[in-house]
Amino acid sequence: MQNEFAGLGQLIAQNEKAKRYYMSLPDYVRNQIATRADNVNTYSSLRDYAENLLRGDD
């Protein structure tokens, strides 16, 4: 089971893997994720949300 954090800020502050992934994303994706920061509380939810946003880039 994954650790669940209070939100995006805590997730990337305390999970180095999540921070590296978040910082590797394009600015527009990070901005969109930040608008829903309270709902992004696991590494899995971060990846899922980012992948959904990136799908249109292909």
49: containing domain: 8-57
pLDDT average, residue stretch 3-7: 93
b/e map 31-51, b = 16+ CB within 10 Å? eebeeeeeebbbbebbeebbe
Please check whether residue 53 lies inside any domain of the structure: yes
Please check whether residue 3 lies inside any domain of the structure: no
Please check whether residue 23 lies inside any domain of the structure: yes
Please check whether residue 1 lies inside any domain of the structure: no
Domains identified in the chain, total number: 1
pTM to 2 decimals? 0.89
pLDDT average, residue stretch 26-43: 96
Provide the pLDDT confidence category of residue 57 given band limits of 50, 70 and 90.
low
pLDDT average, residue stretch 30-58: 92
Q: What is the DSSP string of 9-35?
A: HHHHHH-HHHHHHHHHS-HHHHHHHHH
Please check whether residue 39 lies inside any domain of the structure: yes
